[in-house]
Every structure is written in structure tokens, then in C-alpha cells.
């Protein structure tokens, strides 16, 4: 039981390049989330998927897109990376009605030069 | 606008001492208040959580105190140990729907042997 897995662990992009961050969970959770973590700002929600087939914007969605590929997988895409998107990205999952706990992946450290 | 305000930003405590981290919120619709613990290079992990129908919850050396009228809650770590050195985040959410978490900005705790 791996929990929440994320790939890649590290990535360096040049401004304007695109990439997709992958996330998968094996806990059969309905809800999945993407956060970014920046120094002094805590974790901020980018996008979430309350259930398979639905996605919604969080606090900081600009510059990102998401795809809920199936119940297990939720990807985050940067179409044209900017230095302001340098951050650590975390994926999380939860099951509504099971106490509210969100389970986090190990993170992807992204640097945009 | 930060929905959950957290202080202090950093905290240094002697081994055996009490660590106290405070959080405040404005949205009275919040009904779930978790604390997450994060070690360097790892994703956050749920430490303890409380709902507003109780004023205190204790799990081992960790206690949440909750003051609904003041819209404040705090984490107390009794008999702090060097292994408790980590970053702590408070959070709040509304449990209906997607259970989106709003995080505080984090407190870096260092416990000195």
C-alpha cells in the first residue's frame, strides 16, 4: 500500500516550457488535491477534484490545468512555466465522510529558471 | 487573504519543555481543525484534529485547545523531544463537499537536547 505517489521528485524547467506532474493514490479515495508550498506562505490549494469526473479551482489556479484521469490519478499541468511557479508541489487525497484527513504525497520540487 | 493565521513563525524549545503554537480564523463555518506535522523533504502528515463541539483533545503528548468564541485554537506539545523538531501547520475546513483545507503559514519547531 504505497499511499499517494508523485512523479517526478525534482524538475528544472526553463521559462516557457511545459510539463505535467503526476499523482496516483491507491486508497480508493474519491477526492484529490494539488497544493503548492512556498516559504512563509504555507500550503495553498491550486485545484481539487471532489470526485472522479469533476475538477474545481482552488485559491491559486492561474497558470495551471488539471486532469482527473480516473479515480486513482490526478495530474497537474503547467502549460508555459514561469519563475513564479518555482515551488514544492504536493498532491493529496481524502475520502469524504472518513474523518476529513488528507493524505499527502512526498512532493515535487520544481525550479523554473 | 490568509484564512488561518498562525504564530509564531519559528520556535526553539529545550528538551522536556512545552511547545505552544497558536492559530486564529475568521470563517465561522469552519468545522474541522487539523494540525499537520512536516519533516524536511516529506509531505505533511496529520498529527491531531478537533471539531468545534469540544474544547480540548489530547493524544499522548499532543493537545489541541479550542476556543470557539475567540475563533482560536492552539497546539501544545508536552515534554518536547528533539524528534518533534519539524514544521507544524494548523488548518481549517468545512467538512461538507470537497473538504478543502486552508492552511496557516507554518511554525518551524526546534527542540534543543
pLDDT of residue A99: 72
**Spatial CA neighbour of B32 closest among B47, B49, B57, B45:** B49
A100 pLDDT band, cuts 50/70/90, is confident
pLDDT of residue B64: 96
The nearest alpha carbon in chain B to A90 belongs to: B43
pLDDT of residue B76: 98
Does the pLDDT at position B42 exceed 80?
yes
Contact B93 A100 (CB under 8 A): yes
The nearest alpha carbon in chain A to B87 belongs to: A42
Contact of A64 with A46, CB cutoff 8 Å? yes
CB nearest B46 (choices: A33, A48, A101): A101
Find which of B1, B8, B25, B44 to mutate to test the A interface (most A CBs within 10 Å of its CB): B44
Q: Strand B107-112 vs strand B10-14: parallel, antiparallel, or unpaired? A: parallel
Measured between alpha carbons, how far is B37 from B97 in angstroms, rounded to an integer? 24
pLDDT of residue A112: 97
Contact of B95 with B33, CB cutoff 8 Å? no
Contact B43 A4 (CB under 8 A): yes
Neighbours of B41 (CB within 10 A): 10
pLDDT of residue B2: 80
Amino acid at each position: 500500500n504505497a499511499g499517494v505517489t508523485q512523479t517526478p521528485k525534482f524538475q528544472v524547467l526553463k521559462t516557457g516550457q511545459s510539463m505535467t506532474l503526476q499523482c496516483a493514490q491507491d486508497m480508493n479515495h474519491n477526492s484529490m488535491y494539488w497544493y503548492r508550498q512556498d516559504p512563509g506562505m504555507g500550503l495553498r490549494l491550486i485545484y481539487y477534484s471532489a470526485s472522479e469526473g469533476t475538477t474545481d479551482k482552488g485559491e491559486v489556479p492561474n497558470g495551471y490545468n488539471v486532469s482527473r484521469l480516473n479515480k486513482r490519478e490526478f495530474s497537474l499541468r503547467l502549460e508555459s512555466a514561469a519563475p513564479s511557479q518555482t515551488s514544492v508541489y504536493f498532491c493529496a487525497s481524502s475520502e469524504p465522510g472518513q474523518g476529513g484527513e488528507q493524505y499527502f504525497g512526498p512532493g515535487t520540487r520544481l525550479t523554473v529558471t | 487573504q490568509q484564512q488561518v493565521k498562525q504564530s509564531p513563525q519559528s520556535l526553539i524549545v529545550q528538551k522536556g519543555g512545552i511547545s505552544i503554537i497558536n492559530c486564529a480564523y475568521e470563517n465561522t463555518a469552519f468545522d474541522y481543525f487539523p494540525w499537520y506535522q512536516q519533516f524536511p523533504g516529506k509531505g505533511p502528515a496529520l498529527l491531531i484534529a478537533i471539531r468545534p463541539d469540544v474544547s480540548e483533545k489530547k493524544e499522548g503528548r499532543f493537545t489541541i485547545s479550542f476556543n470557539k468564541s475567540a475563533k482560536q485554537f492552539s497546539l501544545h506539545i508536552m515534554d518536547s523531544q528533539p524528534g518533534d523538531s519539524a514544521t507544524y501547520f494548523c488548518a481549517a475546513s468545512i467538512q461538507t463537499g470537497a473538504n478543502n483545507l486552508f492552511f496557516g503559514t507554518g511554525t518551524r519547531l526546534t527542540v534543543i537536547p
